[in-house]
Amino acid sequence: MKSRYTVSRFMPENAPLAVIRLNRHTTTGMHCHDFHELVLVTDGECIHHTENESYPISAGDLFLIKPGVYHSYQTEHDFALINLLYRPRLLKLPLFDLASEPGYQAFFELEPELRPLRGFRRHFKIGKLLQDELVAIIDRMEDELRSGSPGHLFRAVCCLMRLIGSISHNVEHFRRESIHDELFRLGEVISFMREQCNRSITLSELAERAAMSQSTLNRRFRQALGRSPMQYLTELRIAEAKRLLSFPGRPSVGEVAERTGFEDSNYFIRIFKRHTGMTPNRYRASLPQSAGAVPR
């Protein structure tokens, strides 16, 4: 068995973001990381090995490797890539409505999770124009990180948000390719649930939107997200209920139930307690008095 190790030298534990450029990249051993690694191949080609498969990668290949995934590179020719390393738990990026974009769900959430089943060979390959755009954003990000001037990290994170937004928007055209079609159908279902979680939604409605049978949608959802579509929908509703309950004294529990797609307030109270360990009123009372923002 090949030796395996964890790489941490590229990024201290307290660092939220880093850029690593590997020009004339050489063969590496099987390794993993404790951070997200966004890989953009800028020149040449090599063989990318994972624990389950080996396949060629070349300029224009773009993929995300999440923590704990073992992989290595084997190259005999000029090969260059940019590794964008980041830790979401430290960054806490405000995604706002980006999580409702099918392209974001397809590239950043679903493809890495479905990769053990689909294989790494079906990753995204971008064109020269998009590659140049992403490299320019990363150049600016790297300049900010190197500067160390006041506000440099804020400006670097702004670049990261722009990069994520650009990828999410531009990979949309991949939905026309059959190898990525399922990813975008699942992404569209997730986007729909995020936008419509304040009303009654049935599994049959979601399956129709995904152009899958209910059993296939259930299976694919569990493979990608570790839970069923309806469980995911409930989690979205509970998260929105928490947000609404953060306004002291208003809206009422009944109004929160109605605005989060629960037609029966007693049922809402039971589900909320099951997920949080407390009733909606107790949850509200546990919050700081200053919590909250303007309700939607």
Q: Report H helices in the chain.
A: 88-91, 102-104, 111-118, 128-147, 152-170, 178-196, 203-210, 214-225, 229-245, 253-259, 265-276, 280-286
pLDDT score recorded for residue 202: 94
Closest CA to 140 of 121, 162, 114, 164: 162
SS3 helix, strand, coil % of the chain, rounded to 5?
Answer: 50, 20, 30
- The mean pLDDT value of the chain amounts to 88
- Checking if the pLDDT of 131 tops 90, the result is yes
pLDDT score recorded for residue 290: 46
Dist CA 84 CA 72 (whole Å): 16
Structure tokens at 270: 């039971």
What mean pLDDT is predicted for residues 255-265? 93
Q: At how many degrees (to 10) do helices 178-196 and 229-245 cross?
A: 40
Dist CA 75 CA 244 (whole Å): 54
Q: Which pLDDT tens digit goes with each residue over 102-114?
A: 899 999 999 888 8
| Confidence (pTM) | 0.82
What structural domains does the chain harbor? 4-92+127-171 (2.60.120.280), 238-286 (1.10.10.60)
Indicate the pairing of strand 4-7 with strand 30-33. Answer: parallel
Give yes or no for a cis peptide into 150 (omega within 30° of 0).
Answer: no
C-beta neighbour count of 179 within 10 angstroms: 13
Q: Which pLDDT tens digit goes with each residue over 266-293?
A: 999 999 999 999 999 999 999 886 444 4
Q: Are the CB atoms for 127 and 170 separated by under 8 Å?
A: no
What mean pLDDT is predicted for residues 68-88? 90
pLDDT score recorded for residue 249: 65
Highest mean pLDDT: which range of 113-122, 229-238, 285-294: 229-238
Closest CA to 270 of 240, 218, 234: 234
Indicate the pairing of strand 61-65 with strand 36-50. Answer: antiparallel
pLDDT score recorded for residue 173: 75
- Checking if the pLDDT of 52 tops 90, the result is no
Dist CA 288 CA 233 (whole Å): 27
Closest CA to 19 of 3, 49, 42: 42
Q: Are the CB atoms for 235 and 197 separated by under 8 Å?
A: no
* pLDDT band for position 227 (cuts 50, 70, 90): very high
Dist CA 262 CA 52 (whole Å): 43
Distance between first and last Cα of the chain: 55
What mean pLDDT is predicted for residues 128-155? 96
